[in-house]
């Protein structure tokens, strides 16, 4: 997806004021409202003959991106969490998306007012579209109570840390190679890594890493890139043969 979208501001209005970032909050909030209005219009325009057109969610995603669409949809469910017309699965999904609490009912300004049953179906469409991105979540990572060493491990970057144009599974998994952030007991936070989708070298902060990917969840394209990187490393470490002089 090549379009650049307005960032989803992650903090509350009060926090934005403290950080002197109120303009970023305001821009994001207005975009939330615009997305909410666009969702309502899209549902109205695409509900015909007692069914919602199957590509309705894609229209919103193309206009506002996956991140903001999810943010507004989750906020809408949380705003009406007692409504039994939303599926349990969608309610649980909405809880996983962090939306800061606001005073003066500010979050209500971007809660979608469409019929709950139609909105629930719309959210199902979003979920199916998101699934095609093949993103990685915590269930695909090694579960442990102990901080992990990421050195030479395949790690998953938190989806929320990815820019929208890189919002897909191929740009989410990396081979961590070096940096103090790889080791949990070091003060440094930098994790230097190579993307297993395109081979680009990137610096991440340790806090941006979701975890170590389970071996059985490593896709074939990533295994091929790992083998390629291993071969390159061996070639670099191999001693250079010198031709003897007469």
Q: pLDDT tens for the chain, 246 residues: list them.
A: 457 899 999 999 999 999 999 999 999 999 999 999 999 999 999 999 889 999 999 999 999 999 999 999 999 999 998 889 999 999 999 999 999 999 889 999 999 999 999 999 999 999 999 999 999 999 999 999 899 999 999 999 999 899 888 999 999 999 999 999 999 999 889 999 999 999 999 999 999 999 999 999 999 999 999 999 998 888 877 665 555 554
Please give the Cα distance from 219 to 207 (Å, whole number): 24
Beta-bridge mates of residue 178: 192
**Residue 108's domain spans which residues?**
13-131
- How many beta carbons lie within 10 A of that of residue 78, not counting itself? 15
Structural domain tally of the chain? 2
Give yes or no: residues 144 and 87 share one domain: no
Please give the Cα distance from 23 to 127 (Å, whole number): 31
Give yes or no: residues 127 and 27 share one domain: yes
Task: Kindly report, residue by residue over 122-181, the tens digit of the pLDDT.
Answer: 999 999 999 999 999 999 999 998 999 999 999 999 998 998 889 999 999 999 999 999
- How many beta carbons lie within 10 A of that of residue 232, not counting itself? 11
Residue that is last in its domain, among 69, 98, 131: 131
Q: What DSSP designation does 9 have?
A: -
Is the sign of the CA dihedral 159, 163, 169, 174 positive or negative?
negative
Please give the Cα distance from 8 to 30 (Å, whole number): 11
Beta strand ranges found along 56-161 (DSSP E): 154-157
Residue 169 in any domain: the answer is: yes
Residue 5 in any domain: the answer is: no
Give yes or no: residues 194 and 126 share one domain: no
Helix (H, G, I), strand (E, B) or coil at 1: coil
Residue 86 in any domain: the answer is: yes
Residue 2 in any domain: the answer is: no
Residue that is last in its domain, among 131, 149, 176: 131
Residue pair 158/208 in contact (Cβ under 8 Å)? The answer is: yes
**Which strand ranges, in their side-by-side order, compose the sheet holding 154-157?**
201-205, 190-195, 173-178, 154-157, 209-212
Give yes or no: residues 177 and 159 share one domain: yes
Residue 180 in any domain: the answer is: yes
Give the pTM. 0.84
Give yes or no: residues 36 and 125 share one domain: yes
Give yes or no: residues 101 and 160 share one domain: no
Residue that is last in its domain, among 109, 131, 153: 131
Residue 7 in any domain: the answer is: no
């Amino acid at each position: 997806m090549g379009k650049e979208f307005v960032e989803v501001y992650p903090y509350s209005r009060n926090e934005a004021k403290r950080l002197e970032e109120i303009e970023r909050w305001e821009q994001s909030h207005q975009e939330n409202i615009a997305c909410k209005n666009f969702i309502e219009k899209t549902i109205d325009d695409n509900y015909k003959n007692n069914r919602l057109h199957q590509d309705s969610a894609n229209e919103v995603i193309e206009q506002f991106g996956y991140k903001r669409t999810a943010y507004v949809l989750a906020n809408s469910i949380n705003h009406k969490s007692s409504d039994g017309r939303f599926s349990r699965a969608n309610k649980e999904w909405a809880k996983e998306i962090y939306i800061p609490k606001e005073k003066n009912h500010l979050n209500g300004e971007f809660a979608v007012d469409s019929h709950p049953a139609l909105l629930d179906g719309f959210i199902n469409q979003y979920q199916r579209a998101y699934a095609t991105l093949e993103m990685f979540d915590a269930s695909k990572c090694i579960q442990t109570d102990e901080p992990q060493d990421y050195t030479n491990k395949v790690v998953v970057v938190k989806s929320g840390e990815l820019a929208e144009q890189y919002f897909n599974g191929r740009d989410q998994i990396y081979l961590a190679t070096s940096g103090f952030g790889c080791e949990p007991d070091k003060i440094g936070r930098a994790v230097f890594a190579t993307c297993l989708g395109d081979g680009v070298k990137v610096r991440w902060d340790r806090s941006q890493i979701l975890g170590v990917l389970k071996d059985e969840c490593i896709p074939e394209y990533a295994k091929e890139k790992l083998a390629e990187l291993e071969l390159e490393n061996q070639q670099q470490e191999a001693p250079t043969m010198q031709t003897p002089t007469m």
